[in-house]
């Protein structure tokens, strides 16, 4: 099998065997959910409900706070208990969260829905917006914005991201095997919106069953591109290069080379919204890692606390393990949580539980490994150094803002330098000081 790929990258232990054969099961609905008003890139949503108010499953509880923002819906039928500011670990600040007590089974509030052919492009985009759909691969960029590029950006190619290069996670793999018909409907809807004919799906070759299965199922409709198993193969720019050999310019976006990339789970969410009228109130995720009793793949309501998921779905931590490290996401790009009651958000593709590793953070020995693996062609050791010295302008000149935070440098570093931590902070400070300029 000829495999497409990119320059750089690393190959960490995959550990997908823990869950790759676990079919996605539907989790029970928790008694209480905590729904953040920011679960998307851009401005937080504004809550439009108040304490004591009854809400239905799928009812809008938060309205977009800006052009780049998203609607937020109630994941359960029940009563709003309170609205409070809570620390949102993903966005690094406190944001409004709506706490809802469930009462009984789902009483749905659905969006306009039906055969997608009856909707115009603008109606489809509006319904995707109203459904609160964001990129479910982790980036959480509002999908209606991504599917509506400026007129001067001619899009000719849609790439579906089935790479799932993060170690441990297998939810996209299971989605491709179990939900291929629904995903294909989502792809047809997006094809209509973008007016494109070329559609590819990139899948790492460690998912051979999905490659063979979709080649057969989607014959003549979507070109399946087997990818080398290498991290970060699923990062947008690396995926685009592997599939089309087009290079997104420094500081540019996929639309600059005529491409839109969408994750497989996002395609499923689009089908659910347009055909069935269901806004984004649940998603599939992998619960995995060395520290948990029962790894698996589950459909879980947004707003479910991680503590509830670990106890009820993962059957708790293994005996005798202390100081478990819990990540929202996989081990490479996942965000470590400091509060186990943190609720899951739309972009949460997994919960990974790890046994504490040895201490990180010693000194660079100039081995250049990080430079060799960086898929963006950066000098991570230097970005780390300049970041630590607060020389942000110099860091920006050598590509600080081009870092995709993939973590390959930190993974490969023999001195265990934590570049990504420093780079993330440096980007944040630089943007604050310079107002987001490139
Ligand atoms: S991999 Fe680590 S030790 Fe080697 S140059 Fe990069 S930061 Fe320094
Ligand atoms: S510098 Fe950024 S893009 Fe390069 S390997 Fe490190 S995290 Fe990835």
- Write down the pTM of the prediction: 0.88
Q: Residue 354 belongs to what H/E stretch?
A: strand 350-354
Q: How confident is the model at residue 430 (pLDDT cuts 50, 70, 90)?
A: very high
Give the percent of the chain with pLDDT over 70.
97
Task: Please state, in angstroms and rounded to a whole number, the distance separating the CA atoms of residues 226 and 147.
Answer: 25
Do 265 and 378 share a domain, yes or no? no
User: What residue has token string 């460690």?
Assistant: 206
Return the closest-CA partner of residue 128 out of 98, 76, 344, 119: 119
Do 259 and 148 share a domain, yes or no? yes
Give the percent of the chain with pLDDT over 90.
80
Does some domain include residue 288? no
Does some domain include residue 326? no
Ligand at minimal distance from the CA of 424 is 2
Give tens-digit pLDDT for 64-98: 999 999 999 999 999 999 999 998 877 777 899 99
Do 258 and 398 share a domain, yes or no? no
Do 386 and 263 share a domain, yes or no? no
- The mean pLDDT value for 11-35 works out to 96
Ligand 2 pocket member 187 (CB < 6 A): no
- The mean pLDDT of the chain is 93
Pocket test for ligand 2, best of 238, 331, 420 (most atoms within 8 A of CB): 420
Does some domain include residue 158? yes
Do 261 and 126 share a domain, yes or no? yes
- The atom of ligand 2 lying closest to the CA of 370 is 5
With H, G, I as helix, E, B as strand and everything else as coil, classify residue 336. Answer: strand
**What is residue 234's predicted lDDT score, i.e. its pLDDT?**
94
Q: Which of 60-64, 227-231, 355-359 is the least confident region?
A: 355-359
**What is residue 360's predicted lDDT score, i.e. its pLDDT?**
52
- In the predicted structure, residue 429 carries a pLDDT above the cut 80: yes
Domain of 226 in residue numbering reads as 16-21+112-276
Both tokens of residue 154? 């001619």
Q: Which of 128-142, 316-330, 416-430 is the least confident region?
A: 316-330
Q: Compute the distance from residue 276 Cα to the ligand 2 centre, in Å.
A: 40
Rg (CA), the chain: 21
Task: Please state, in angstroms and rounded to a whole number, the distance separating the CA atoms of residues 158 and 68.
Answer: 21
Residue closest via CA to ligand 1's atom 2 equals 413
**What is residue 130's predicted lDDT score, i.e. its pLDDT?**
98
Task: Please state, in angstroms and rounded to a whole number, the distance separating the CA atoms of residues 122 and 108.
Answer: 25
Does some domain include residue 283? no
Number of domains making up the chain: 2
């Amino acid at each position: 099998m000829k495999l497409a790929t990119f320059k750089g990258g690393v190959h960490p232990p995959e550990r997908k065997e823990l869950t790759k054969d676990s079919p996605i099961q539907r989790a029970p609905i928790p008694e209480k959910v905590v729904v953040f008003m920011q679960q998307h890139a851009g401005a937080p949503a504004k809550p439009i409900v108040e304490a004591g108010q009854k809400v239905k499953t799928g009812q809008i509880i938060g309205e977009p706070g800006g052009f780049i923002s998203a609607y937020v819906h109630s994941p359960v039928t029940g009563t709003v208990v309170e609205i409070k500011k809570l620390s949102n670990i993903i966005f690094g600040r406190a944001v409004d969260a709506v706490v809802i007590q469930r009462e009984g089974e789902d009483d749905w509030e659905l969006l306009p829905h039906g055969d997608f052919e009856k909707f115009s492009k603008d109606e489809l985009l509006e319904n995707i917006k109203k459904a609160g759909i964001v990129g479910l691969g982790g980036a959480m960029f509002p999908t209606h914005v991504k599917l509506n590029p400026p007129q001067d950006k001619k899009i000719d190619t849609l790439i579906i991201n089935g790479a799932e290069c993060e170690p441990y996670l297998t939810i996209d793999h299971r989605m491709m095997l179990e939900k291929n018909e629904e995903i294909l409907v989502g792809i047809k809807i997006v094809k209509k919106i973008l007016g494109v004919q070329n559609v590819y799906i990139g899948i790492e070759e460690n998912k051979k069953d999905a490659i063979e299965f979709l080649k057969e199922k989607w014959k003549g409709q979507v070109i399946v591109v087997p990818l080398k198993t290498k991290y970060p193969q699923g990062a947008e720019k690396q995926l685009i290069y592997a599939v089309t050999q087009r290079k997104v310019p420094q500081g540019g976006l996929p639309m600059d080379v005529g491409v839109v990339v969408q994750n497989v789970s996002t395609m499923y969410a689009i089908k659910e919204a347009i055909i069935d009228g269901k806004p984004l109130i649940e998603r599939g995720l992998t619960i995995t890692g060395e520290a948990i009793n029962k790894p698996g793949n589950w459909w879980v309501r947004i707003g479910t606390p991680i503590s509830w998921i670990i106890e009820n779905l993962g059957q708790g931590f293994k005996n005798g393990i202390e100081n478990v490290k819990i990540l929202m996401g996989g081990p490479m790009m996942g965000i470590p949580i400091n509060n186990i009651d943190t609720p899951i958000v739309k972009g949460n593709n997994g919960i990974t539980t790890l046994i504490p590793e040895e201490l990180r953070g010693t000194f660079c020995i100039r081995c250049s490994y990080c430079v060799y693996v960086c898929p963006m062609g950066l000098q991570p050791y230097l970005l780390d150094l300049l970041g630590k010295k607060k020389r942000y302008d110099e860091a920006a000149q050598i590509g600080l803002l081009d870092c995709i935070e993939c973590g390959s440098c930190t993974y490969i570093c023999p001195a265990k330098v934590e570049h990504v931590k420093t780079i993330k902070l440096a980007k944040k400070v630089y943007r604050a000081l310079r107002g987001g300029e490139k």
